[in-house]
Amino acid sequence: MDDLHLRKIRTMPLPDEFPGVHAMGDEETEAALRVCRSKSLYRYYGMNLLKETSSFEAEFADFLNIPYVVAVTSGTAALHTALSALGVGPGCEVIVPAYMWVSVIAAVVNLGAIPVLADIDETFCLDPADVARKITPRTVGMIAVHMSGAPADIVRLAAVAKQHGIFLLEDCAQCVGGSIDGRRVGTFGDMAIFSFQMNKNMSSGEAGAVVTHNEELYRRAVASHDAGYSRSDTGKLLMDDTTSYGWGRGLRLDELRASILRVQLRKLPGTIDRMHQSKYKIRQWLETCPELSLRRVIDPNGDTGCFLITIFPDATSAHAVNDRLRDLGIASASAETSNVILADYGMHIYYNIPALVHKVGTDYRGSPWSLTENQNSIYTYAKGTCPRADDLFERSQLLAIPSCLSHSDEDEILEAFQEALASVFQLAS
């Protein structure tokens, strides 16, 4: 082995992704203790109820500038709650992106509806033109997922939804706090969902939220996430609210996690700012490299910065640069979310989801694929269904940008990129 192959730029792993977690401190501990001491961990009543969950909902509504928020137990719970409030069921087709997280498709399938894959473009989010091509008389809506920290082309997607009279559900799980022209993601669609799981910009380990401008959808979401009935301001079940009542899923958030989320929400702008600064320092240098291109970001000011996506001319050079970066020590301890070629990024990629590719049903009848209501919705989900995404997945690299990078961490990432590009593309140094 020559010197070049022995040299490491870093010997310590990069910090793990977990953006909100790096900001955790005594404030979160104090909040959790406050709730434990109150002995009132359930949101609707208790011996000394602190109303952490309803306070979090009000503060998150304020942050987004949207009237209605329902806190739930996870982003997956939020997707099920929102789709059920929107009335999705058998006979419905819902358009989903080729790049997402498996929960997006799980929620559609669990409700008896058919997911229809649409391609992505260089934003790595839904391509509005492909969404328009995928609309059929059975299409009821689309789920636009703001992937890997930066917003989708949501204004154009909203226009497609409006033109065709279908709903737009925004999935902001990976882009909490992102915006376009100062308007927060989550406020462009009919409804939106958020996740506060541990890899997200703010976190209580597990939790989520459903948001909307529409009061009726809000009441339906409250009913669906709870026991099937919406509630009065004092938490009383409204048994005669006929426009919202139905069957509940028991996805209420508890006081403990809500108290932690209130602290994490206050820290969110700082968390985003740190990731954004690190990412754009690296991105600005990469912009000068003709060997690669970068993900198209609709509004760099509204990019939360938690991931950097670089696009190479072909799969061979993408893998070679990625491997070289790893050899140089650019990787975190949990390597799956550190630097990966997107094709290898697990169930974020449609063709890596076996139950989707093989149309595995949710019950003994093979629902939703076998339901009479869905007999005209015949789709495939194997690799090849979304050719533009397939091509991008093969030759794009995802690099997590932790919220606690030091200047020397950033410099080492830059130095490693310089060296990897020089060795793979055989540039004169």
Ligand X SMILES: Cc1ncc(COP(=O)(O)O)c(C=O)c1O
Q: How far is the CB of 1 from ligand X (least distance, A)?
A: 39
Q: Does 17 bind ligand X (CB under 6 A)?
A: no
Q: Using CA atoms, how far apart are residues 304 and 309, in angstroms rounded to an integer?
A: 13
Nearest distance from C-beta of residue 232 to ligand X, angstroms: 28
Residue type, 254: D
Interaction between residue 195 and ligand X (CB under 6 A) = yes
Of 137-166, binders to ligand X (CB under 6 A) are 145
Q: How far is the CB of 169 from ligand X (least distance, A)?
A: 11
CA atoms within 13 A on the CB side of 58: 7
Residue 143 near residue 95, CB atoms below 8 Å: yes
Among 110, 174, 204, 322, binds ligand X (CB under 6 A): 174
Q: How far is the CB of 425 from ligand X (least distance, A)?
A: 33
Helices (H), 292-384: 315-327, 354-357
**Residue 20 interacts with ligand X (CB under 6 A): yes or no:** no
| Complex with ligand X: residue 30 or 336, whichever CB lies closer | 336
Please identify, among the stretches 60-68, 72-80, 149-157, 367-375, the one whose residues bind ligand X according to the rule CB under 6 A. 72-80
Q: What angle do CA 127, 132, 138 make, to 5 degrees?
A: 125
Is there binding between residue 171 and ligand X (CB under 6 A)?
A: yes
Beta carbons within 10 angstroms of residue 214's beta carbon? 15
Task: Give the number of residues written for the chain.
Answer: 429
Residue 76 binds ligand X, judged by CB under 6 A: yes
Known catalytic residue at 200: yes
Count interface residues toward ligand X (CB under 6 A). 14
User: Could you say whether residue 197 binds ligand X (CB under 6 A)?
Assistant: yes
> Which residue is catalytic, options 8, 51, 134, 200?
200
Tell me if 117 contacts ligand X by CB under 6 A.
no
322 lines the binding site for ligand X (CB under 6 A): no
- Integer CA distances (angstroms), 77 to 53, 169, 248, in order: 16, 14, 12
Parallel, antiparallel, or unpaired: how do β-strands 139-145 and 114-118 relate?
Answer: unpaired
Question: Pairing relation of β-strands 139-145 and 179-180?
Answer: unpaired
Site residues for ligand X, 348-377, by CB under 6 A, read none
Candidates 31-39, 168-176, 349-357, 397-405; binding stretch for ligand X (CB under 6 A): 168-176
In the bound complex, what is the minimum distance in angstroms from residue 80's beta carbon to ligand X?
10
Q: Which of 368, 396, 370 is nearest to 105 (CA)?
A: 368
What tokens appear for 123 in the block?
């934003």
Name the helix (H) or strand (E) containing 278.
Answer: helix 255-286
Distance CA 42, CA 50 (A): 10
Return the range that interacts with ligand X (CB under 6 A); candidates 70-78, 151-159, 283-291, 307-315.
70-78
Which residues fall within 8 angstroms of residue 25, CB to CB, at 6 or more apart?
A: none
Residues that bind ligand X (CB under 6 A): 74-76, 100-101, 103-104, 145, 171, 173-174, 195, 197, 208
Catalytic residues: 200
